[in-house]
Amino acid sequence: MVYKDILFELYEAEGRKRLRVLSGQSIPVKHIRSSHADRDAFSEGNIFAADLCDHSSDKYYTFAYAGTTLAECFLAPNIHDERVKHKLSAAMTKEAEPVVSSAPSVFTAPAIPGDLQVDRELWRFLNATIKLGKYPLLLGPKGCGKSEVARRLAEANGMDFFEFDCGQAHKPKRQFIGGLINGDEGKTEIVRSQFFKAFISDKPTLIFLDELTRIPTVAANFMMTILSRNQSYIYSEDEGVRYEKGKDVVFIAAGNVGYSYVSTNRLDSAFEDRFVKCTVDYMPESSEIKLITSRVTGVGYSDAQVIVRAANLLRAAECKGTLSVSLSTRQVLDAAAYIPMGFTAKDVLMKVILTNYIISEEYEAAQGILQSM
């Protein structure tokens, strides 16, 4: 099978670098293959040289060189372009190591899921942190989307996802390892916890540690070896066995900060050092309006705008200390759900939004803040 010289360019689509055959070429796109695992890391402008063999041989080779705006895909005997011939001659006559541009590669994150409203740079940073095998700690107010971001990170990276509430870890041995039960014929058996199974998984796995700032001290001490990035393991005293973390298992955590959060703890500095901290806040007004109109069918832009502006006024008051209760994105979505049922935006503010301030005895204060709209 003989192919002519094929030119193709490197371009970006949906957050990933892809190859595109230039017009007038005689080979279908599906026939362009590359055995180079890091093709997406190459910079735009690299030359890609692929030795296209018969499909039955299943042998494809890739070399990369910087210095031009086009890439050339060709069958080795048919090199005619003097622009790259001298660069490739050595590779064509002997088995040479692939030559890659010395310029540092730029990390490309998976595309943001269509209905997820998240800052693009934050999304890229979190994906890079996961790629590096480090553990992000999302810090921010309640209901700003920390849990949703964690779930979508796992989804975007093809990882199994497990979520655990650290505030409930009062019996860490039972939660992180499991317990003993009397099995058949009176024999003692070990029942492994879900956390333990996720920890030793041989699949790419993201373990989400929610409410990390409410973790009991005894549980934080238990997790010191679990969260160690150098040598992560769980020691089972009942068996006298140490279990190592799965190779592709990564943690991500979330916690609340500030005086208004009940039962939050100051983390031990050694424990906190296990994580790479980053802040997450409520999304911009335009993004939250877009979230409402995309998630709640039948809500128009103007009604969504009224709800979001009310929520932002109340959140700003909480930040200033005027109110002790903030308003989560989840509560905003719950309120918007009444619009398609025939309730007006004003009804929603009075019957749904403001009722979140009854228990804290701040209903009248919150109502006064909304009167400025």
pLDDT 10s digits, 305-333: 999 999 999 998 988 889 888 888 889 99
211 — alpha (psi -120 to 50), left (phi > 0) or beta? left
Q: Does pLDDT of 88 surpass 80?
A: no
For residue 196, give the nearest of 204, 188, 187, 207 by alpha carbon. 207
Q: Which residues contact 297 (CB under 8 A, 6 or more apart)?
A: 340
Q: Mean per-residue pLDDT for 93-110? A: 55
pLDDT of residue 189: 77
**Cβ–Cβ under 8 Å, residues 255 and 302:** no
Q: Which residues pair with 72 in a beta bridge?
A: 7
Sign for the pseudo-dihedral over CA of 117, 120, 122, 128: positive
pLDDT digits (tens, 9 = 90+) for 102-149: 445 577 888 888 778 888 889 999 999 999 999 999 998 888 889 999
Provide the token pair at 96: 């040479």
Highest mean predicted confidence (pLDDT) among 5-9, 43-47, 48-52, 71-75: 5-9
CA dihedral 254, 353, 288, 263 (to 10 degrees): -10
Question: Phi and psi (nearest 5°) for 356?
Answer: -70, -10
Q: Which residues pair with 209 in a beta bridge?
A: 164, 253
* Mean pLDDT over the full length of the chain: 76
What is the strand order of the sheet 16-21 is part of?
16-21, 6-13, 71-73
Q: Report CA 233 to chain centroid distance, whole Å.
A: 24
pLDDT of residue 283: 85
Q: In whole angstroms, give the CA distance from residue 324 to residue 311.
A: 14
pLDDT of residue 66: 32
Would the pTM of this model clear 0.85, i.e. be above it?
Answer: no
Q: Report CA 298 to chain centroid distance, whole Å.
A: 29
Q: Which residues contact 1 (CB under 8 A, 6 or more apart)?
A: 53, 54, 55
Q: In whole angstroms, give the CA distance from residue 37 to residue 51.
A: 16
Percent of the chain with pLDDT strictly greater than 90:
42
Provide the token pair at 10: 């490197």
Q: Does pLDDT of 68 surpass 70?
A: no
Report the amino acid identity of residue 172. P
Q: Report CA 346 to chain centroid distance, whole Å.
A: 36
Q: Mean per-residue pLDDT for 155-160? A: 94
Question: Which position has the token pair 């050595």?
Answer: 90
CA neighbours within 13 Å on the CB side: how many for 243? Answer: 19
pLDDT of residue 54: 39
pLDDT digits (tens, 9 = 90+) for 228-272: 988 899 998 878 889 999 999 999 999 987 544 545 567 788 888
Q: Does pLDDT of 334 surpass 90?
A: yes
pLDDT of residue 97: 45
pLDDT digits (tens, 9 = 90+) for 173-227: 988 998 777 766 667 777 899 999 999 999 999 999 999 988 999 999 999 999 9
Question: Which position has the token pair 């480090």?
Answer: 134
